[in-house]
Chain A
Amino acid sequence: KNQVEQSPQSLIILEGKNCTLQCNYTVSPFSNLRWYKQDTGRGPVSLTIMTFSENTKSNGRYTATLDADTKQSSLHITASQLSDSASYICVVSARTGGYNKLIFGAGTRLAVHP
């Protein structure tokens, strides 16, 4: 069964600190892995998309890593800001029947406190 598991479920950090969010997946066949940021009451916004051959990808203070062998990904946030408070969703694209289907993780709810 295709699954995406994220940890921790929720996290509280102080402004300016770094943090790392984890994503483990059992999705096959793998097509790509995406990280999205979802503010409360808003739609998800794409942060990164990584294919099988990519190990790391950055988008400003966000850096995603991918280990396709262990089927793990992480999202590292550097020098956190209050505006980073949101849910971060790991999404893995599975290629099934010639098409790609997104498998969503439950997300990590990050709260950045002053």
Chain B
Amino acid sequence: GAVVSQHPSWVICKSGTSVKIECRSLDFQATTMFWYRQFPKQSLMLMATSNEGSKATYEQGVEKDKFLINHASLTLSTLTVTSAHPEDSSFYICSARLGGLKLGNQPQHFGDGTRLSIL
């Protein structure tokens, strides 16, 4: 079945560091990828929607200069947390869907997440 690979799975770094997280769709082309953030015992919160070859659409309250998203190909999207601080520590999960946003009944496949810890 469809697989979404996320890397790295765990990052610990100092405050002020920029961290890049990769999300790859391994056996299908994902026109649309999504980035979520999840705090302990809470559900996933959508941060941004990424379309291949165009600028990402950010949810209200998400700083686009803080969370840089690049969707350069149909199989790769990256999220860069710039100048990370302890409050950015969280579980970041990407998701990919075959086809575009209008294909609403297509399954959405999730990566295994990246646990980011900022000291």
Contact = CB atoms under 8 A, between A and B. Distances in A.
Interface of A: 31-32, 34, 36, 41-46, 49, 51, 89, 93, 95, 98-102, 104-107, 109
Contacts of A46: 107-109
Contacts of A36: 110
B4 interface: yes
Nearest to A39: B112
B104 A93 contact: yes
A58 B103 CA distance: 23
B43 interface: yes
B113 A102 contact: no
Contacts of A102: 34, 46, 108
Interface string B5-18: 01000000000000
B68 interface: no
A49 B109 CA distance: 12
B92 to A, nearest CB: 10
Contacts of A95: 104
Chain B CB within 10 A, most for which of A42, A43, A100, A109: A43
B43 A106 contact: yes
Nearest to B109: A46
A51 B102 contact: no
Given A32-B105, A99-B102, A100-B101, A45 B110 contact: yes
B104 A44 contact: no
B31 to A, nearest CB: 12
Nearest to A32: B105
B108 A43 contact: no
Contacts of A105: 43
Contact of A43 (B4, B42, B45): B4
Nearest to A109: B41
Given A98-B102, A99-B101, A105-B43, A42 B113 contact: yes
